[in-house]
Amino acid sequence: MRGVILFAHGSRDPRWREPIDAVARRMGELDTGVPVGCAYLELMSPDLRTATQALVQRGVASIRIVPLFLGVGRHAREDLPRLVEELRAAHPGIAFSVTAAVGEEPEVIDLLAGLALRPGITSKP
């Protein structure tokens, strides 16, 4: 069984994570057989280590980490690989993989460009 961790930055604002939670919920609707966890780099819990332990306890053999970052900087290119090395050392029996940050996915770029141009996009006063 494979699990997925959505990895995001985190914030002091408790409502910041609502879209992250919404992605996790939507994944559960799309495929109920894949355990999903959320993890945060800072300011929010759980951290990546704790989220990994939770999936390992659910019996996953592999974990894919998906960085929910639009901009790709130090957090995605330096902090995350370092954290993943720690996970691999702590869980040698688990196969970890890390996807590109979502901001690097052409489909995401395309959707955001379309949304930004769309006349009917939800507008706030």
Among 32, 59, 74, 89, binds its own copies (CB under 8 A): 74
Task: Determine the distance from the C-alpha atom of residue 27 to the mean position of all C-alpha atoms in its chain, rounded to a whole number.
Answer: 12
Asked if residue 60 lies in contact with residue 1, where contact means CB atoms within 8 angstroms, the answer is yes
**Is-cis flag, bond preceding 46, omega within 30?**
yes
Among 46, 54, 56, 72, binds its own copies (CB under 8 A): 72
Asked if residue 53 lies in contact with residue 85, where contact means CB atoms within 8 angstroms, the answer is no
Which segment (46-54, 55-63, 86-94, 106-114) binds its own copies by CB under 8 A? 106-114
The type of residue at 48 is: L
Among 15, 32, 59, 82, binds its own copies (CB under 8 A): 15
Reduce the DSSP state of residue 109 to 3 states and report it. Answer: helix
Among 23, 54, 56, 94, binds its own copies (CB under 8 A): 23
**What residues line the site for its own copies (CB under 8 A)?**
4, 6, 8-13, 15-20, 22-24, 26-27, 29-31, 34, 36, 64, 66, 68-74, 77, 97-105, 107-117, 121-124
